Amino acid sequence: MRLERLLGMTLELMAKKRVTATELAAKFEVSVRTVYRDVELINLAGIPVASFTGADGGFELMDGYFLTRQHFSVDDLSVIYTLLKAMEGSMGGAVAPAMRKLVSLHPGLANESNREAVILSMSASESERDRIRQLFQAIRQSRIVRLAYTSASGTPSERSVEPGKLLWEKGVWYLEGYCRSRRGKRYFRISRITELQVMEETFIPQPLLDEPEQEEVHGIHAHLRFDLAVRTRVLEQFPGECTYQGDCVEVRTIFYKKEYALSVITSYGTNVDIISPEDLRRDVIAHIEAIRQHYAKPRGGDRI
């Protein structure tokens, strides 16, 4: 309990220019004498606290201490603070200490009006949030997880994974880990995890080396060019694979099933062009022709 009080007093000193012994005594529900003893212990711990007497006296950290708080503006730290606050639902109390430290560096962060310009949405379904909580605990405890996973091409698989990191990019959560099933580093989109089981088995975390996935050898490496009219959908469908080229968006991606590639490409109509491979271009033309012939046939109820 005393350790928590000492930490709380230290954070209070970091958050305010000067604080009186009476204020600290009231906040932590102790006597003024106890406050003086605690401040002395804080000093002994290597945190320099200066004492001032008189009507405006009190305690404050000596000038020059914790200079790192000057390296960021409120706007800089506001982005980090808002991100942590949005993560509270998934990570629980694990992010609370970091949030308190940020407020101690810049007390203005606690004021909502200072964060009006920061708009950060961590939209995730309840099932995704539950998966994130489970994975977060598995990472902290170094426990193996078993996944039922569906790839971007719609292929289901069972995976045994050593979880390493939870990543958040452009509104999408990913798990980075060592896939025992594929014997290498892999990324799993949380929304595509259909079943998750945290095992009792633990592992020793090891550095994850980047390596090409084996499936890439068998996939269709496609170079596509999209009109800007559909850029929002393209950015959502191909995160991390888009580059702007003047009046278009170019995508280099891999399709693991030809049927899936055909369905995606044709869904964009005339707003997409296939740069390569030529075989995929011919397959799309054949697919469209098959659709045309299908609808050209008389329907069962039509009279000729």
| Final residue in a domain of this structure, among 180, 214, 248 | 214
Containing structural domain, residue 199: 126-214
Write the CATH number for 46: 1.10.10.10
pLDDT for the residue numbered 118: 34
197 token code pair: 């089981």
Q: Are residues 142 and 185 in the same domain?
A: yes
Query: Lowest mean pLDDT: which of 44-48, 54-58, 66-70, 225-229?
Result: 66-70
Give yes or no for a cis peptide into 212 (omega within 30° of 0): no
Is residue 302, in this structure, part of any structural domain at all?
no
pTM attached to this predicted model: 0.39
> Looking at the predicted structure, is the pLDDT value of residue 184 above 60?
yes
Q: Are residues 88 and 109 in the same domain?
A: yes
Q: Are residues 161 and 181 in the same domain?
A: yes
Q: How confident is the model at residue 155 (pLDDT cuts 50, 70, 90)?
A: confident
Phi and psi angles of residue 38, each rounded to the nearest 5 degrees, phi first: -65, -40
Is residue 303, in this structure, part of any structural domain at all?
no
> Looking at the predicted structure, is the pLDDT value of residue 82 above 60?
no
Neighbours of 183 (CB within 10 A): 10
Write the CATH number for 201: 2.30.30
| Final residue in a domain of this structure, among 164, 188, 214 | 214
Q: Are residues 209 and 135 in the same domain?
A: yes
pLDDT for the residue numbered 254: 85
| Final residue in a domain of this structure, among 83, 115, 147 | 115
pLDDT, average across residues 153-172: 78
The total of structural domains in the chain comes to: 4
Residue type at position 219: G
CA nearest 273: which of 237, 224, 229?
224
